[in-house]
Structure 1
Amino acid sequence: MSERFLDSYKRPLRDLRISVTDKCNFRCTYCMPAEIFGPDYAFLPHDKLLSFEEITRLTKIFASMGTEKIRITGGEPLMRKDLPTLIQMISEVEGVRDIAMTTNGSLLAKHAKALKAAGLKRVTVSLDSLDDDRFGQINGRGFRVETILSGIEAAADAGLQVKINMVVQRGMNEQDILPMARYFREKGHILRFIEYMDVGNSNGWRLDLVVPSREIAALIHAEMPLEPAEPNYYGEVASRYRYQGTEQEIGFISSVTQAFCSTCTRARLSAEGKLYTCLFAADGEDLREPLRSGYTDEDLRQLIGGIWSRRSDRYSEERLKHTPELTQRKKVEMSHIGG
């Protein structure tokens, strides 16, 4: 029987995002720029990562506290060996009703069937352009669009629900907004546009590089009229729309211009076992050491409950004031906690 845990703003703990690795085979400019995450960058050694058994144990504890949705992230989660085994373990946890994964899609075609069989229900694929040259520039490694599209179709064929996330940066890929909307409308997959965010300190974020969701929506609406759709659940991050006269959905995630901190129900667990209560947090609370030093499940439950009850994060609402000191303060890198 799960108990309801609320933070200082009365937000429940409903979603847990679990990073299974800090490694990625991409070097996207807004997440893991190659000039910082180069050949000599020291990623976590394997013994510092939480084991599948430790992740599953924590998932059971979170589920007992009311967490219902699990999202597997990275880095690139499919770089973690035997990931379907972890999905299977989590799928057997009482109280977990939904398991999703965020991926760059480059390895998805190979693993889609096994992930579905293990209990994964949904996958979100990051794709920022349909133009090979631009996509190669953004991903920093020259990966081609066709590789990602093949992964998307393999996931859909395996029975996974598929969403595509596109981060829009001014001066980088605004010209890809309409081609992406046309393509995925025809394919029947949900496309979501994400405002470029100041996650971490390595991506050179500036406010003038943000393309507001309202601008993106207006551009699409002029060619393919949109109508609002009702939210699916409390705390949904995307504003949902449909193409008029259809059931085909499109979404906008407006963390910069229309902050949704007031309904945020997400906690994040890094690959080495630190608990973060905000995507823009500077530091996390270590759970690995208590896990490995004899804490009982109830001890861990009380520890996590205390962390959540003290939670007062509302960074994106505070960012609306555009305070330079705020946006430039130290923050955990997105690649470390998976967005």
Structure 2
Amino acid sequence: MPRLIDPFQRTIDYLRVSVTDRCDLRCTYCLPKGFKGFEEPAHWLSHAEMTRLVGLFVALGVRKVRLTGGEPLLRRGLGDLAAGLTALPGLQDLSVSSNGTRLARHAAELKAAGVQRLNISLDSLDAGCFERITGRDCLGDVLEGLREARRVGFAPIKLNMVVQADQNLDEVDRMVVFAMEQGFVLRLIEPMPVGSTGLATEGVDLSALGERLAARHALLPQVLGQGAGPARYWCSPDGRMSLGVITPMSQHFCASCNRVRLGVDGTLYLCLGQNDQVPLGRMMREGLDDAALTTAILAGIAAKPERHEFRERPQQVVRFMAQTGG
């Protein structure tokens, strides 16, 4: 079986799968208030269709799959889907990205289904700031979800904080202390100009901020294995907490990109910052067999762009982040 190697000799072994483009929050950098342009449910892949497509990617060497959205816990039967994916021969890592608002009621089910890791969005520990960013007063629900996730055995749990210059920059130190106290992995993320909301968000150079935070909190450089992801990390001396920075704007990591994204309708997105795509869902529903779909996947990977152009052409990606799959 051929492997997924793109024209720049990058091995693609990570697939992010959007199970819905719907979300119960309206984060300022993601979806605009009042947005109604969601994909029609009739176009969503069924669980069986998702499992079929993911199985083709796994057969081609994908070893890591993350279920995303929108907010994936809005999709009914997510535990059943996760259990089906876990059973795929060759899949080594199944994780979920969530905003955490519904995590308390679903954490045990996800753990039982074989989900190994969680990434939870948390942009502020201040209830007012949280509501300004997300559009909802539900910080307590997210914190309850984190407690329940830890209770059922998820470890480590990663927190994703999108740092905005005019919203939550002054919250970063508090978040570092919180992560140290709770033993979480905290990842600070630069916002990207994806859609009009992303374009309107003022980010911060996290390359420099990460170094300052590490020095201030006595964190040590953390050396991770090859292919460990786009973040650069520091860890606490006792090893319980890690701090990472993800810097697509100030210091991009395209040279080591190992991932592609599958939208809820089965569209394969080859780069978060480009418009290249392959309509795998439509092709599957037109009756293509697994061999033909595999050929289409390979052709897509052969056309994967070298890098995003967020700085050179920041306005070219008009779809919103939730429509791509996180």
CA distance in structure 2 between the partners assigned to 1:216 and 1:179 by the alignment: 14
- Give 5+ residue unaligned stretches, structure 2: none
The aligned residue for residue 100 of structure 2 is: 105
Residue deviations 1:89-136, cap 9 Å, x none? 100001111000100000000000001101101010000000000000
1:177–1:216: 8 Å Cα contact kept in structure 2?
A: no
Residue deviations 1:267-296, cap 9 Å, x none? 100001100011122252111122112211
**Most deviating of 283-292 and 295-304:** 283-292
Q: Which one of 30, 41, 53 corresponds to residue 58 of structure 1?
A: 53
The aligned residue for residue 146 of structure 1 is: 140
The aligned residue for residue 311 of structure 1 is: 304
Matching of residue 155 in structure 1 with residue 149 in structure 2: yes
How far off its partner does 1:244 sit? Answer: 3.8
The aligned residue for residue 164 of structure 1 is: 159
The aligned residue for residue 5 of structure 2 is: 6
Q: 1:259 to 1:203 in 2, by over 3 A?
A: closer
How far off its partner does 1:230 sit? Answer: 0.9
CA distance in structure 2 between the partners assigned to 1:169 and 1:211 by the alignment: 6
The aligned residue for residue 329 of structure 1 is: 316
How far off its partner does 1:216 sit? Answer: 2.3
2:19–2:67: 8 Å Cα contact kept in structure 1?
A: yes
**Most deviating of 70-79 and 328-337:** 328-337
CA distance in structure 1 between the partners assigned to 2:39 and 2:131 by the alignment: 26
CA distance in structure 2 between the partners assigned to 1:238 and 1:119 by the alignment: 25
How far off its partner does 1:202 sit? Answer: 3.1
How far off its partner does 1:224 sit? Answer: 0.7
The aligned residue for residue 30 of structure 1 is: 29
Residue deviations 1:192-217, cap 9 Å, x none? 111121122333336xx221113322
How far off its partner does 1:57 sit? Answer: 0.4
Matching of residue 88 in structure 1 with residue 83 in structure 2: yes
Matching of residue 237 in structure 1 with residue 230 in structure 2: yes
1:235–1:264: 8 Å Cα contact kept in structure 2?
A: no
Q: 1:71 to 1:146 in 2, by over 3 A?
A: same
1:124–1:165: 8 Å Cα contact kept in structure 2?
A: yes
CA distance in structure 2 between the partners assigned to 1:8 and 1:219 by the alignment: 37
TM (norm. structure 2) is 0.95
Secondary structure at 1:137 match in 2: helix
TM (norm. structure 1) is 0.92
| Structure 1 stretches of at least 4 aligned residues deviating more than 4 Å after TM superposition | none
Secondary structure at 2:196 match in 1: coil
**Most deviating of 227-236 and 123-132:** 227-236
CA distance in structure 2 between the partners assigned to 1:43 and 1:270 by the alignment: 12
Q: What is the RMSD computed on CA atoms of the aligned residues?
A: 1.6
Residue deviations 1:121-165, cap 9 Å, x none? 10100000000000001001222x221111111111111231100
**Most deviating of 260-269 and 290-299:** 290-299
Matching of residue 46 in structure 1 with residue 45 in structure 2: no
CA distance in structure 1 between the partners assigned to 2:145 and 2:70 by the alignment: 17
Instruction: State the AA in 2 paired with 1:8.
Output: P
The aligned residue for residue 252 of structure 1 is: 245
How far off its partner does 1:245 sit? Answer: 5.4
1:73–1:337: 8 Å Cα contact kept in structure 2?
A: no
1:18–1:337: 8 Å Cα contact kept in structure 2?
A: no
2:192–2:198: 8 Å Cα contact kept in structure 1?
A: no
2:196–2:320: 8 Å Cα contact kept in structure 1?
A: yes
- Give 5+ residue unaligned stretches, structure 1: none
CA distance in structure 1 between the partners assigned to 2:22 and 2:68 by the alignment: 11
CA distance in structure 1 between the partners assigned to 2:159 and 2:105 by the alignment: 18
Q: 1:195 to 1:156 in 2, by over 3 A?
A: same
CA distance in structure 1 between the partners assigned to 2:226 and 2:106 by the alignment: 29
Q: 1:235 to 1:308 in 2, by over 3 A?
A: farther
State how many pairs are aligned. 325
Q: Percent identity?
A: 35
Secondary structure at 1:251 match in 2: strand
